[in-house]
């Protein structure tokens, strides 16, 4: 793989959680694989008072704590952090008087001869994306005469349709769309990209991938953690904005899209956009029947007493922010007309798991006796995390007299590909920005269309106080009402376990 051109990566919000937990470990892994530019500098910016030396130490510790690489590589960490710098600044300083910062950055650029190439990463609270971007542009830093200038914007991109549109229009007023990389780290996950390969590299799936053979599609993204120390941010966001608007809808897009004409950035994103444009709007008056929201309450989980959401740090005591959401919707196009899509996500669920389940239709005529007399149908389960892999469930004859049929598993686990390292999502995405490849980043129109779909839900929750928010004990699968969404007698969500091949309400978590 090619190495990117020399550059400085400026991280706004460098003293925060994302930088320590994800960004710096990912950069260090890229360095280990020789995939960083020959001359590469990180300039971290935060409000906390730190010297560059303190910051280097903090980042070295972060790599040791959070890197998924298991080889001992102390020397490499030290050599990586040599070119890491810190600049203490409040947004106030950059919006009011950016010149000190600009001259510091340009000095670093000259010192390391990076040819004027800068990438700016917004790892700050979302309210700062706009003022920082505007100040960068005003200071001439988005001008590409002297080198490339790109900006990476973390999610959430806006708060609703109007704010998402506003942010797009402000950014478009000061830079070109191809300078903007809206990050959705789910698109950087190997297993999410493998969805494209599964669908479009294998001839057997495409003929079945439509309303004629598929009964319903289910996507779950469950987390066992609560809001931890992000209560302040999360309480004004909730699961709909934090997970559905971006990660879950992107998975819907890749599952439902038509085959792209190429792997070019616009070819894939055009097809995802068409899916978003075909989402059947849920009318405000239908929200209660199609969208279930919940909030975790305190509970004893495996001997540990877990707090309820309202007692978490930074959360309002009477908060009505949802920590769980499940939605039923349709995609109005020829491929998917009439096929329900069910998506759900939540914090403090029993286990951490993300998967896509394709439920195929049952056979038209039932010849055989099945286990417990119930009809079973084929399922294809694409496991995004953990125990990444693919599971196909189908019926087989039980050995012996008669024709007893048993549902069995055929499974592939990424871990079977011994010696192949699965790169972290941020590693892939940071490398792509450096290589100017925007395929795995959300485009302006995708983000706005996703907000448009969610707008009636946001409005209904805001305007109609009679729409319930259900409590669910921490460590359970969310409000029981989520099961009522699933159409069909005896049908329910799949209750996934830690291991891809097991499921059910009671299994290893």
Query: Cα(61)–Cα(25) distance, rounded to whole angstroms?
Result: 10
Q: Which of residues 60-99 bind ligand NDP (CB under 6 A)?
A: 90-91
**Residue 387 binds to ligand BG6 (criterion: CB under 6 A):** no
Q: How far is CA 383 from the centre of its chain?
A: 14
Give the active site residue among 185, 247, 366, 413: 247
**Residue 13 binds to ligand NDP (criterion: CB under 6 A):** yes
> What six digits make up the tokens of 101?
């910062």
Half-sphere exposure of 390 (CA within 13 A, CB side): 11
Build a one-symbol-per-residue string for 137-176: x at contacts with ligand NDP by CB under 6 A, - elsewhere: -----------------xx---------------------
**Residue 370 binds to ligand NDP (criterion: CB under 6 A):** no
Angle between the N-to-C axes of helices 444-463 and 249-256, in degrees from 0 to 180, rounded to the nearest 10: 130
Tell me if residue 359 is catalytic.
Answer: no
**Residue 16 binds to ligand NDP (criterion: CB under 6 A):** yes
Query: Cα(30)–Cα(445) distance, rounded to whole angstroms?
Result: 31
Binding partner of 223, given ligand NDP, ligand BG6, none, CB within 5-8 angstroms per partner class: ligand BG6
- Residue whose C-alpha is closest to residue 196's, from 394, 55, 356, 63: 356
Query: Cα(276)–Cα(7) distance, rounded to whole angstroms?
Result: 35
CB of 238 to ligand BG6, least distance (A): 10
Angle between the N-to-C axes of helices 249-256 and 190-201, in degrees from 0 to 180, rounded to the nearest 10: 20
> What six digits make up the tokens of 406?
């048993």
**Residue 487 binds to ligand NDP (criterion: CB under 6 A):** no
Binding partner of 316, given ligand BG6, ligand NDP, none, CB within 5-8 angstroms per partner class: none
DSSP character string of 395-410: EEEPSSSS-EEEEEEE
**Residue 440 binds to ligand NDP (criterion: CB under 6 A):** no
Query: Cα(409)–Cα(219) distance, rounded to whole angstroms?
Result: 19
**Residue 428 binds to ligand NDP (criterion: CB under 6 A):** no
Question: What is the three-class DSSP state of 374?
Answer: coil
Among 160, 218, 223, 444, binds ligand BG6 (CB under 6 A): 223
* Closer to ligand NDP by Cβ: residue 25 or 475: 25
From the list 18-26, 140-148, 215-223, 486-494, the region that binds ligand NDP by CB under 6 A is 18-26
**Residue 448 binds to ligand BG6 (criterion: CB under 6 A):** no
> What six digits make up the tokens of 179?
């300078």
Among 160, 218, 242, 444, binds ligand BG6 (CB under 6 A): 242
Using CB under 6 A, list all residues that contact ligand NDP: 13-18, 21-22, 46-48, 90-91, 123-126, 128, 154-155
Task: Point out the residues that are catalytic.
Answer: 247
């Amino acid at each position: 793989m090619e190495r990117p051109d020399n550059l400085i990566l400026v991280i706004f919000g460098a003293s925060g959680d994302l930088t320590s937990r994800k960004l710096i470990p990912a950069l260090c892994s890229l360095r280990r694989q020789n995939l960083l530019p020959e001359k590469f500098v990180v300039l971290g910016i935060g409000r906390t008072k730190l010297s560059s030396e303190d910051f280097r130490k903090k980042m070295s510790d972060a790599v040791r704590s959070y890197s998924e690489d298991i080889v001992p590589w102390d020397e490499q960490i030290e050599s990586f952090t040599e070119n890491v710098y810190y600049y203490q600044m409040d947004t106030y300083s950059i919006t009011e008087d950016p010149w000190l910062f600009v001259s510091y950055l340009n000095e670093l650029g000259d010192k390391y001869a990076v040819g004027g190439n800068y990438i700016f990463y917004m790892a700050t609270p979302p309210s700062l994306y706009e003022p920082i971007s505007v100040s960068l542009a005003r200071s001439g830093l988005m001008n590409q005469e002297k080198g490339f200038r790109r900006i990476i914007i973390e999610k959430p991109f806006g708060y609703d349709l109007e704010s998402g549109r506003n942010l797009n229009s402000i950014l478009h007023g000061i830079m070109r769309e191809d300078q903007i990389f809206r990050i959705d780290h789910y698109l950087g996950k190997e297993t999410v990209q493998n969805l494209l390969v599964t669908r479009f590299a294998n001839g057997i799936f495409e003929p079945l991938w439509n309303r004629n053979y598929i009964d319903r599609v289910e996507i779950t993204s469950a987390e066992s953690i609560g809001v931890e120390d992000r209560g302040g941010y999360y309480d004004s966001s909730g699961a709909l904005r934090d997970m559905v608007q971006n990660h879950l809808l992107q998975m819907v897009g890749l599952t439902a899209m038509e085959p792209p004409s190429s792997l070019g950035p616009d070819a894939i994103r055009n097809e995802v956009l068409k899916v978003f444009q075909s989402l059947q709007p849920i009318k405000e008056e239908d929200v209660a029947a199609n969208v279930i929201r919940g909030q975790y309450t305190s509970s004893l989980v495996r001997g540990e007493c877990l707090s309820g959401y309202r007692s978490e740090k930074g959360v309002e005591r009477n908060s009505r922010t949802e920590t769980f959401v499940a939605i039923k919707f349709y995609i109005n196009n020829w491929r998917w007309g009439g096929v329900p899509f069910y998506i759900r996500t939540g914090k403090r669920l029993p286990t951490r798991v993300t998967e896509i389940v394709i439920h195929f239709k049952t056979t038209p005529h039932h010849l055989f006796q099945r286990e417990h007399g119930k009809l079973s149908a084929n399922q294809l389960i694409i496991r995004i995390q953990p125990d990444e892999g693919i599971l196909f469930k189908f019926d087989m004859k039980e050995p012996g007299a008669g024709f007893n049929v048993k549902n069995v598993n055929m499974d592939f686990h990424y871990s079977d590909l011994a010696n192949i390292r699965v790169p972290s999502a941020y590693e892939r995405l940071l490398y792509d920005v450096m290589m100017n490849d925007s395929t795995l980043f959300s485009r302006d129109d995708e983000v706005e269309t996703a907000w448009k779909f969610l707008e009636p839900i946001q409005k209904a929750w805001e305007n109609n106080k009679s729409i319930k928010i259900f409590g669910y004990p921490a460590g359970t699968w969310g409000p029981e009402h989520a099961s009522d969404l699933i159409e069909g007698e005896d049908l329910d969500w799949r209750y996934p376990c830690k291991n891809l091949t097991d499921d059910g309400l009671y299994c290893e978590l």
